[in-house]
Structure 1
Amino acid sequence: MLKYPCPPNLSIWWNMGSMLFLVLGAQILTGIMLTMNYSADEQLAVVSVDYIMRDANYGWIIRSLHMGGASMFFALIYTHVARGVYYGAYLKNPHVWYSGLTLYVLSMGVGFLGYVLPWGVMSYWGLTVITNMMTVIPGGARALDWFQGGFVISTVTLKRVFVLHFLLPFVILGLSLAHVLLLHTNGSSNPLGLDETNFSVPFHPYYSIKDLAGFALLLAGLVGMTFTFASLTADPLQWQPINKMKTPAVIKPEWYFLYAYAILRSIPHKAAGVFTMFAAIVGVAIFPMISAEESFQSMKVCPPARLMFMIWAANFMFLTVIGAQEPTGGWVLAGQFGTILHMGTLAALPLVKLMWESELYMPIEQEEKMGVL
């Protein structure tokens, strides 16, 4: 690994992968510590969380690190994916792209399961909303009853959520190692999108030092958030006891799922909304298929694609804001507009790059034909 050949022009955007490994390790470590005092029971879950925060030695620090680490993990994932889209990493390593997408979907599942465990108001109603999406597929109602352990969400359901949340991070860790092995097969992409095999440099010391600097900044940010803004991303309703007879005015997940939730709510038909939401989440899977004929990887040489990318990223933030609002009036229309824009830009990004390349190469090909004649 220390002698792994790397392109000599990698920027800070290539530090996200190593940072994700660090945060994943911290999440697994703090999660194991939290399980020592957590009780997966409807009556005891809130009590055990209060015990961790108030009475367990340094329990509030461990839980705050775990909550802040989850937000940091998804922020790094979104930056990592955006870098891959902008610099065309999916062209050089399609298998790495698909393994990374699998890791992202699994991480979303683990993140949601962790959101359920404190068993506050949002935990219960969020689980109700997400599990009911299973009924849109054939046999989904029976699968829902099996997962819940009955006809309603109960202690049995919470125990199963807890077991899955404990085990899946180790699956993610194993797949992450496979992700890195696949990356080492063809090598890393680079900002220029060129083949720099003959100009590579060893990983150590050129990038090992760079990764250590990134680790220091990441740990400083995580510790700073833990001790200064411990509940920055937490919903206040998560501290209220569950009332199964009263639905909150606004049911919403953590910030890193809000864009998908906004898309789900923007379509009134249940099955169509679920399908569109999953298509939006895994939509980047089409990039290697559509872009197979591209000559350039990076968007640096394609101004129209850069503009489209900026619109896509800005719309992602727009949908995140929409997902936190009450689904009434203009917010519904705004969510529908953002959904159309998100799906449209996903499909258009590779096509714009292909059209730009055809405009660049067409005059050259015509000149070559004229020269031959």
Structure 2
Amino acid sequence: MKYPCPSNLNIWWNMGSMLFVTLAIQILSGIMLSMNYTADGNLATESMSYILRDANYGWALRSTHMAGASLFFALIYIHVGRGVYYGSYMKLPHVWYSGVTLYLLSMGVGFLGYVLPWGVMSYWGLTVITNMMTVFPGGARALEWFQGGFTISTFTLKRVFVLHFLLPFVILGMSVAHVLLLHNNGSSNPLGLDTTELVVPFHPYYTSKDLVGFVFMLAGLAALAFTFPKITADPLQWQTINKMKTPAVIKPEWYFLYAYAILRSVPHKAGGLALMFAAILGIALLPTLGKYAKTQSMVMSPLGEALFFIWVANFMFLGIIGSQEPAGAWILAGQVGTFVHLFCMLSIPAANAKWEKMLFNGYGRWIQI
């Protein structure tokens, strides 16, 4: 409650606390749903039908959990974008690395949850992702162990359910460690300046601000869950699995579409997988690339700011590409989007450094005159 915070934090610093609340909602609703779910290939669809139609308020829990997943990843992307724009990775590299780890765990949990309804898209999405394991040495053996046999079956679904149930508690523990690391060094701020002497206590200044954010966040979650519950759901997710017919377009939820577009942009399986992980883990290199910067925030760097907004727009563009059939111009568009994504992400620190050099050299010449 007495944690000293910079006095100029804006609304973008509310995302971390919102993520904590959303994670709590996901864990609680997930525990309630697990009481009625059956991890069996023949009964999973029937248990989902029971949850939605017969279980007391099962439809509300299911809609809240599904909408909460979308909200959780939306908040993550805003949180990461804020960290890149305001250069938080420069001041708090260890916090940044723990955050990247949390993002990877969240992606894993999100995908495992996508499989549990056991619809057409669940089955074929799991088939595509698990077959990527064969790229690595010994991957075929690991795939066979994970599947519980030579094909995806009830044993695979049981493994998916157990991991989806347990990993959120790992994320919760990592989130606590993430916050403890933050409290060791103190928060960054929009200007990227040293505000050691200009701090205010977290309570009541930011507790009240967080409460306002919670109200708007919960209102948005309620609207998404109870008014547009299926806005992000693919209709194939509600159809019974047909192992003999592959859908024309296999796609994940919206929050994975950018990574899926990058994965498909290269015809070679290993190459696409390498590019996808490079796109996801590339943000982990930002503290190393930007460690010599004199200014922290992009408010001071119009060049870096321009690259950042191109990066964000391209992220949305990759989301559109990932939802389309990988044919014709969409393949080329995916390759261009992949290049732009990696180029902008890795060029932002260099652009900031270049701008700083021009700025400080120009200032030095002005002082001499």
TM-score w.r.t. length of structure 2? 0.99
- Indicate the residue corresponding to 1:344 in structure 2: 343
Name the CA distance, whole Å, in 2 between partners of 1:81 and 1:347: 15
- Indicate the residue corresponding to 2:333 in structure 1: 334
CA deviation map 1:29-72 (0-9, x unaligned): 00000000000000000000000000101000000000000000
CA deviation map 1:73-132 (0-9, x unaligned): 000000000000000000110000000000000000000000000000000000000000
Code of the aligned partner of 2:105: L
- Indicate the residue corresponding to 1:11 in structure 2: 10
Name the CA distance, whole Å, in 2 between partners of 1:182 and 1:350: 23
Name the CA distance, whole Å, in 1 between partners of 2:88 and 2:56: 45
C-alpha RMSD over aligned residues: 1.0
Code of the aligned partner of 1:41: D
Name the CA distance, whole Å, in 2 between partners of 1:72 and 1:326: 26
Name the CA distance, whole Å, in 1 between partners of 2:84 and 2:345: 10
Name the CA distance, whole Å, in 2 between partners of 1:348 and 1:9: 28
- Indicate the residue corresponding to 1:225 in structure 2: 224
Code of the aligned partner of 1:303: P
Name the CA distance, whole Å, in 1 between partners of 2:304 and 2:245: 47
Q: What SS class does the counterpart of residue 197 from structure 2 fall into?
A: helix
CA deviation map 1:233-262 (0-9, x unaligned): 111000000000100000000000000000
- Indicate the residue corresponding to 1:57 in structure 2: 56
- Indicate the residue corresponding to 1:319 in structure 2: 318
Q: Which moved further from structure 2: 175-184 or 219-228?
A: 219-228
- Indicate the residue corresponding to 1:190 in structure 2: 189
- Structure 2 matches for 1:252-291, cutoff 5 A? 252-291=251-290
- Structure 2 matches for 1:168-247, cutoff 5 A? 168-247=167-246
Code of the aligned partner of 1:81: V
Measured after TM superposition, the shift of residue 366 of structure 1 is 5.6
CA deviation map 1:309-337 (0-9, x unaligned): 00000000000000000111111111111
Measured after TM superposition, the shift of residue 342 of structure 1 is 0.5
Code of the aligned partner of 2:155: V
Q: What SS class does the counterpart of residue 326 from structure 2 fall into?
A: coil
Name the CA distance, whole Å, in 1 between partners of 2:239 and 2:133: 27
- Indicate the residue corresponding to 2:362 in structure 1: 363
Name the CA distance, whole Å, in 2 between partners of 1:320 and 1:144: 28
Q: Which runs of 5+ in 2 are unaligned?
A: none
Name the CA distance, whole Å, in 2 between partners of 1:255 and 1:4: 36
Measured after TM superposition, the shift of residue 362 of structure 1 is 2.0
- Would you identify which runs of 4 or more consecutive aligned residues in structure 1 move more than 4 Å? 364-368
- Structure 2 matches for 1:93-104, cutoff 5 A? 93-104=92-103
Code of the aligned partner of 1:128: T
Q: What SS class does the counterpart of residue 102 from structure 1 fall into?
A: helix
Q: What SS class does the counterpart of residue 333 from structure 1 fall into?
A: helix
Code of the aligned partner of 2:150: F
Structure 1 residue 163 and structure 2 residue 162: aligned? yes
Measured after TM superposition, the shift of residue 346 of structure 1 is 1.1
Name the CA distance, whole Å, in 2 between partners of 1:343 and 1:114: 28
Name the CA distance, whole Å, in 1 between partners of 2:345 and 2:133: 26
- Indicate the residue corresponding to 1:125 in structure 2: 124
Name the CA distance, whole Å, in 2 between partners of 1:347 and 1:127: 31
Name the CA distance, whole Å, in 2 between partners of 1:342 and 1:84: 17
Percent identity over paired residues: 69
Code of the aligned partner of 1:275: A
> Aligned residues, how many?
369
Name the CA distance, whole Å, in 1 between partners of 2:362 and 2:316: 39
Name the CA distance, whole Å, in 1 between partners of 2:208 and 2:182: 20
TM-score w.r.t. length of structure 1? 0.98
Measured after TM superposition, the shift of residue 224 of structure 1 is 1.3
Name the CA distance, whole Å, in 2 between partners of 1:42 and 1:34: 17
Code of the aligned partner of 1:106: L
Name the CA distance, whole Å, in 2 between partners of 1:361 and 1:50: 64
Measured after TM superposition, the shift of residue 363 of structure 1 is 3.5
Name the CA distance, whole Å, in 1 between partners of 2:223 and 2:360: 51
Code of the aligned partner of 2:145: W
